[in-house]
Structure 1
Amino acid sequence: MPVGLIALALGGFGIGLTEFVIAGLLPEVAADFHVDEAAAGWLISGYALAVVVGALVLTAALIRVPRKAALIGLMVLFIAGNALSALAPTYEVMLLGRILAALCHGAFFGIGSVVAAGMVAPDKKARAIAIMFTGLTAANVLGVPFGTLLGQALGWRSTFWAITIIGVIALAGVALLVPRVSADAKSAGVLHELRAFRSGQVWLSIVVTVLGFGGMFGAFTYIAYTLTQVSGFASSAVPWLLILFGVGLFAGNAVGGRLADRALDRSLLIILIGLAIVLAAFALVAGNPIATIVALVLMGAFGFATVPGLQTRVMMYAEQAPTLASGANIAAFNLGNAVGAWIGGITISAGLGYTSPLWAGAALTVGAVVVMAIAAGTARRGSRAGVQAKSEQPLPVG
């Protein structure tokens, strides 16, 4: 395993921690700045919106910058955003710090995916991307609970100082360990990268990402209500249950990367079908605490097993212009989060109960299965047509 992947994973860990740990510290932050829950919530939703903007705009702005230099610049922005959050004298400054940190999120994972894939042999690209995303899953399993405990013990600002330090270490790792490979050469520019979006397969992959990730995170957004109001767990048990969910994320990411390297489209279809079944089964057994624990782990495993494959697929069909398409797919993951949470909220508001986001997530995932089947079938027919056309070419004479 190239050591540069460890540096990318550490950067992913810090970024994942920044995104998720705020949820556990929101009451303390709101009390410190004397704002209500709705205003405090913008520290989460504002971050998510900035991720989408950064994944598209900042990635496009960095197209002509050598990729290693771009990653270093993004880590500097990440450090600055978290340091500003830790020092913030007012709510508005805190929100600005969150936005600055979020802007680097999508671009880092988008550009980092291309760099990670360029470090390894073609048949190991998905596994390399999975290693980078291991940092994101580790942030859920280990970083969020310990970051929350640190913030509750020493004040929420201490957590953001810890994240800033992680960012400094990741910056040093990227500078020292990520190689300057041929993929680090300057791109032909934004117009060249935009040509990737002429591919119908790129768009189909992005739609699968929105629907598939929207299905899982739409259910996950309201999981605390499901666990306490339906499954009967105490509120104090929720953080520990979420660690189990994070274990599922970690395992799914690792297995999904290996499966994608063996059979990309087939593995994605099987995983998405499995996710739809798990979400529907979860809704049916949510009243049983033991079955709920099993379903929670499986939801994380199947949900995140799609990530390496989907990221690899969009880069593969983007061909010689993968950077912006990769960033767009990171934006699609976050758009899926927002769409899934919105639909799940609608079902609860309609009085359908706290298992309704699971049913809605299953429905979204079924949509992802349909689109993925269309994408796989179209790709297979295109591949056969290409082989046939090649075989029909006249043999050279001489």
Structure 2
Amino acid sequence: MPFAIYVLGLAVFAQGTSEFMLSGLVPAIAADLGVSVPTVGTLTSAFAVGMIVGAPSVAMLSMRWPQRRALLSFLITFLLAHVVGASTSSFGVLLATRVVAALAMAGFLAVGLATAAGIAGPGAKGKATSVLLSGVTLACVAGVPLGAALGGVWGWRAAFWAVAASSAPAVIAILRAVPPTPVDPDAPTARHELRALRSPQLIITLLLGACVNGATFCSFTYLAPVTTEVTGLSTGWLPGILAVFGIGSFVGVNAGGRLADRRPRQVVTIGGTALLAGWLLFALTAANPFAALALVFVQGVLSFTVGSTLISQVLYQAADAPRLSGGFATAAMNVGAAAGPALGGAVLAAGLSYRSPLLVSAALVAAALVIRGVSRALGGSPGRDRSQPQAAHQPR
């Protein structure tokens, strides 16, 4: 992979750290700004909404910008939002910075996916996607725990300053590594790209991605009570368990990168079936610490193998919409990231046990497999793009 793609992954690492780090900072923010814990929780909701709305809309607004200019604009905006957030004493201002940061991250991911796919060349979009998503998984493994540690030692503002500081090297690296390609005057317009996104096959792939990501975030969100209340482990185990899931997700992203360009259909079919079986098995064996720990890793691997493959297939299937395809893929994944935890919370609020989010995850994956099966029976084939280079499906 060209060095520029790894530079984009570095920026995504900083952004992924910001997206998830609030989970360990909520009480400190509430105490410092004089608001309730549920009020601070709206910071997470605001970020999710910003990602969902911002991914396609901001990508559309920046279509006539050169890619490097767009990437730098979004990344610098993201950096400055964290500087303001770290400096403010107003919850309203902090909330606004989270929305701005989410819009900037959404735009960066949309343009970054398109840029990485273009740099990687035909038949390597899966590998390029895996490098960018590795930044998110590394954020789960290292960035989020480090942010929580900084918040515990120097206060929550230190975590925000750290995200801003970690974004700065990426700004410099993008200036040096990403070529300053001008806008092609014959490039597709927004209207043309939107028409290209009407493909039923593409819409189904986006829906599959939302379902799979919803399953992932449903169980990930409630992993702490599952392991403490069902598995019976102490809270001291939680950082290690979350790290195991993060390591599994990193392995899965890289496995998806190796397989998505050659055998996407097999990854979605076999990996999706294994993912469904894994969530069901996890729900049945969650009381066993050894089985639970093993399945946390396995499900991290499978979730991100299948999820990253579906994202890369969106890029293949929407080759006529290079900028907006990344935006809609980002939005679909964030719809899942918002809907999955909401569904898990709903079944818990209904009085069901802490195993129930695992069953919700299984149901979401089962829905994805049913949708895919019905689509194939009706003549579609999500998981493979007919315009994708044939060499991308053949062993090399």
**In the alignment, is residue 324 of structure 1 matched against residue 324 of structure 2?**
yes
**In the alignment, is residue 68 of structure 1 matched against residue 68 of structure 2?**
yes
Alignment-derived partner of residue 239 in structure 1: 239
Runs ≥4 residues deviating over 6 A = 383-386
Shift of 1:37: 1.4
**In the alignment, is residue 368 of structure 1 matched against residue 368 of structure 2?**
yes
* Contact 2:188/2:320 (8 A) holds in 1: no
Query: What amino acid does structure 2 have at the position aligned with 1:23?
Result: S
Alignment-derived partner of residue 395 in structure 1: none
Distance 1:385 1:155 in 2: 52
Q: What's the CA shift string for 1:80-119, capped at 9, x where partnerless?
A: 1111111111111111111111111222112111111111
Distance 2:193 2:123 in 1: 24
Alignment-derived partner of residue 285 in structure 2: 285
* Contact 1:21/1:147 (8 A) holds in 2: yes
* Contact 1:205/1:375 (8 A) holds in 2: no
TM-score (norm 1): 0.92
Alignment-derived partner of residue 25 in structure 1: 25
Distance 2:5 2:54 in 1: 22
Q: What's the CA shift string for 1:339-390, capped at 9, x where partnerless?
A: 1111111111122200001001101101111223344563459x9999xxxx
Distance 2:68 2:60 in 1: 15
Alignment-derived partner of residue 302 in structure 1: 302
Segments of 5+ residues of structure 2 without an aligned counterpart are 388-396
Alignment-derived partner of residue 81 in structure 1: 81
Alignment-derived partner of residue 255 in structure 2: 255
Query: Residues 345-364 of structure 1: matches in 2 within 5 Å?
Result: 345-364=345-364
Shift of 1:31: 0.7
Partner-residue secondary structure (3-state), 1:262? coil
Shift of 1:219: 1.6
Query: What amino acid does structure 2 have at the position aligned with 1:12?
Result: V
Distance 2:386 2:372 in 1: 20
Shift of 1:71: 0.7
Alignment-derived partner of residue 230 in structure 2: 230
Shift of 1:307: 3.0
Over the matched positions of the two proteins, sequence identity in percent amounts to 34
Q: How many residues align?
A: 384
Query: What amino acid does structure 1 have at the position aligned with 2:152?
Result: Q
Q: What's the CA shift string for 1:309-350, capped at 9, x where partnerless?
A: 112211212122121122111111111111111111111112
* Deviating more after overlay: 127-136 vs 245-254: 127-136
Distance 2:386 2:91 in 1: 58
Distance 1:60 1:123 in 2: 25
Distance 1:357 1:261 in 2: 32
Shift of 1:308: 2.6
Distance 2:207 2:298 in 1: 23
* Deviating more after overlay: 359-368 vs 343-352: 343-352
Alignment-derived partner of residue 185 in structure 1: 184
Higher-Rg member (1/2): 1
* Contact 2:317/2:385 (8 A) holds in 1: no
Alignment-derived partner of residue 393 in structure 2: none
* Contact 2:372/2:381 (8 A) holds in 1: no
* Contact 1:67/1:185 (8 A) holds in 2: no
Alignment-derived partner of residue 146 in structure 1: 146
Distance 1:56 1:6, change over 3 A: same
* Contact 1:252/1:300 (8 A) holds in 2: yes
Query: What amino acid does structure 2 have at the position aligned with 1:150?
Result: L
**In the alignment, is residue 173 of structure 1 matched against residue 173 of structure 2?**
yes
Q: What's the CA shift string for 1:154-173, capped at 9, x where partnerless?
A: 11111111110111111111
TM-score (norm 2): 0.93
Partner-residue secondary structure (3-state), 1:119? helix
Partner-residue secondary structure (3-state), 1:65? coil
Query: What amino acid does structure 2 have at the position aligned with 1:317?
Result: Q
* Contact 1:140/1:246 (8 A) holds in 2: yes
Partner-residue secondary structure (3-state), 2:27? helix
Alignment-derived partner of residue 47 in structure 1: 47
Alignment-derived partner of residue 10 in structure 2: 10
Distance 1:114 1:228, change over 3 A: same
Shift of 1:236: 2.2
Distance 2:386 2:60 in 1: 33
Q: What's the CA shift string for 1:26-66, capped at 9, x where partnerless?
A: 11111101111110101111111111111021111111111
Alignment-derived partner of residue 102 in structure 1: 102
Distance 1:250 1:180 in 2: 30
Shift of 1:216: 1.5
Alignment-derived partner of residue 215 in structure 1: 215
Segments of 5+ residues of structure 1 without an aligned counterpart are 387-398
**In the alignment, is residue 155 of structure 1 matched against residue 162 of structure 2?**
no
